[in-house]
Amino acid sequence: MYSAAVLSLNKTNHQAILKEPNGGSMSAKQLKCRINPTQKAYSVDVDMQELATYRNCRVVLYNNLFEKAKMCEPVLGKVHASRVVKRVDIEILPEDFSHYQAMLKWKDIREKPSDVVDIKKKNGMHQNSNQGLF
């Protein structure tokens, strides 16, 4: 969940994060250490609430039909003073019980869907290029 959150928080810089040797896992580990979740082994709903409060943003969880399934709001009074202004939604999609995928909108990542389609045609892939993005 934390790597999806890092990717969702850095939408404009997502390609640089994905090109890192560990794919942004170091940033995700740092975020997890700062939050210090109650459940360390895997992510649960409480961790999403702690993430929302720590980053002062909403964490939106989607289902497999790309509909909003759950939304966690930050708990007022527990938000750190330096994070009061920041309000960027973290939108994630669960892959299975403990793995999540970041949901990035085309307008946020400043790319055109046609660019992705062209790359997939060159690689010989024949699948929907908008899968997972909205």
Tens-digit pLDDT profile for residues 78-97: 766 565 556 778 888 888 77
> Residue 114 falls within a domain, yes or no?
no
> Residue 51 falls within a domain, yes or no?
yes
Read off φ and ψ for residue 113, nearest 5 degrees: -60, -30
Residue span of the structural domain in which 33 resides: 2-103
- Structure confidence at residue 71 (pLDDT): 92
- Contact in structure between 17 and 10 (CB atoms under 8 Å): yes
- Rounded to an integer, the average pLDDT of 29-48 is 83
> Residue 131 falls within a domain, yes or no?
no
Q: How many domains does the chain have?
A: 1
> Residue 46 falls within a domain, yes or no?
yes
Q: Which residues of 44-60 are buried (b: 16+ CB within 10 A; e: fewer)?
A: eeebbbbbbbbbbbebb
> Residue 130 falls within a domain, yes or no?
no
Residues composing the chain = 134
User: Is the whole-model pTM more than 0.75?
Assistant: no
Residue 132 has pLDDT above 80, yes or no: no
> Residue 66 falls within a domain, yes or no?
yes
How sure is the predictor about 118, in pLDDT bands with cuts at 50, 70 and 90?
A: low
Grouping H, G, I as helix, E, B as strand and the rest as coil, residue 134 is coil
> Residue 55 falls within a domain, yes or no?
yes
